[in-house]
């Protein structure tokens, strides 16, 4: 299969590329497109055949549910039922935007492959002009996980999608670099206390300001039971070389690199710009020393490691305040929970 990458204006200005993408989606094919978080790999969520192609292209386990993307608020009642007040408040406050809301799925509408056999589904309305243009032009729900091979770092540029999925999908709508850099927050509003299943750009603090108490389980708590949202069960976001988290401490970083060099290991260091270390064989910057910069550069830096012959990747950790919880969630999964000692 030949993969066509079509560059479009990030502001969503309509071009014939949208017609082409819509025709492919209506024909049961999959198309990659940008959201404000990462690039998604979309297929019409009511089609078993289309959803199967998503799993096939990604090499994704079929018990890992998919998020359904919609383009207008009026579509909600077509796909979910019993939407409670807290779910509605979340949608009103954060849509369009990087928040996925878990609701009870409407029976016999969406493909069962989307929900992985669960009675719930995650709905989201992205705010990226390109994804909104595509969804509104299509007028159907689109199941769309990140557009990468399963387990690899998520794509934040069209070229990343091409690197992972060339010859596996027919089309990439390239709208430039994404804005946030980590996937959407997923909140389960079917529980008595709304619970964050995956942290992201919409933080616990932001949610609590709108709906009151919100629970955010630990990494170990999330591993128990069937996953209700993407990213809860399997190792994700990992480059080829093993990743280890390390404290953001210059002496500890230098000491670790020296010790690894004695073992004849080449080291890639991922850290904020001001923690660059000449001893590292490779250095990839998280940008300035802020969580927003780190979130934006995280996947790009992890992907860059695969173009090196590094034997090990050291990635500096951050606090779990605000969007830091999303960053640490992704780093822990990339590193399999391992810290350098």
Both tokens of residue 293?
A: 């910069």
pLDDT in tens, the chain (341 residues): 899 999 999 999 999 999 999 999 999 999 999 999 999 999 999 999 999 999 999 998 777 899 999 999 999 999 999 999 999 999 999 999 999 999 999 999 999 999 999 999 999 999 999 999 999 999 999 999 999 998 889 999 999 999 999 999 999 999 999 999 999 999 999 999 999 999 999 999 999 999 999 999 876 565 554 556 665 555 567 889 999 999 999 999 999 999 999 999 999 999 999 999 999 999 999 999 999 999 999 999 999 999 999 999 999 999 999 999 999 999 999 999 999 98
| pTM metric for this prediction | 0.91
Distance CA 61, CA 40 (A): 17
Distance CA 12, CA 134 (A): 9
Distance CA 60, CA 292 (A): 29
Distance CA 251, CA 267 (A): 16
Q: Residue ranges of the alpha helices (H) in 139-180?
A: 158-165
CA 155, distance to chain mean position in Å, is 8
Torsions phi, psi for 264 (to 5 deg):
60, 35
């Amino acid at each position: 299969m030949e993969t066509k990458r079509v560059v479009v204006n990030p502001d969503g200005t309509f071009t014939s590329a949208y017609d082409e993408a819509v025709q492919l989606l209506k024909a049961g094919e999959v198309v990659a497109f940008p959201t404000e978080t990462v690039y998604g790999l979309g297929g019409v969520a009511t089609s078993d055949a289309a959803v199967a192609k998503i799993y096939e292209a990604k090499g994704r386990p079929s018990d890992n549910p998919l998020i359904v993307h919609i383009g207008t608020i009026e579509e909600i009642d077509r796909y979910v039922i019993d939407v409670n007040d807290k779910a509605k408040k979340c949608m009103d406050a954060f849509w369009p935007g990087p928040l996925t809301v878990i609701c009870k799925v409407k029976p016999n509408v969406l493909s069962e492959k989307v929900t992985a056999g669960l009675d719930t589904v995650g709905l989201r309305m992205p705010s990226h002009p390109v994804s909104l243009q595509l969804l509104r032009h299509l007028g159907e729900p689109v199941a769309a996980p990140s557009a990468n091979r399963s387990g690899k770092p998520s794509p934040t540029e069209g070229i990343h999608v091409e690197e992972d999925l060339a010859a596996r999908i027919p089309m990439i709508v390239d709208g430039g670099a994404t804005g946030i850099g980590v996937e959407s927050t997923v909140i389960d509003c079917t529980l008595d206390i709304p619970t964050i299943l995956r942290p992201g750009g919409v933080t616990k603090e932001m949610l609590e300001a709108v709906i009151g108490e919100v629970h955010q389980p630990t990494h170990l708590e999330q591993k128990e039971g069937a996953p209700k949202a993407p990213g809860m069960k399997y190792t994700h976001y990992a480059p080829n070389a093993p990743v280890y988290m390390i404290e953001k401490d210059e002496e500890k970083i230098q000491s670790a690199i020296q010790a690894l060099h004695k073992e004849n290991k080449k080291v890639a260091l991922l850290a904020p710009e001001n923690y660059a270390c000449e001893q590292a064989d490779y250095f990839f910057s998280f940008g300035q020393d802020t969580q927003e910069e780190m979130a934006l550069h995280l996947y790009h830096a992890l992907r860059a490691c695969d173009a090196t012959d590094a034997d090990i990747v050291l990635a500096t950790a951050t606090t779990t305040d605000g969007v830091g919880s999303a960053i640490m969630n992704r780093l822990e999964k990339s590193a399999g929970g391992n810290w350098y000692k």
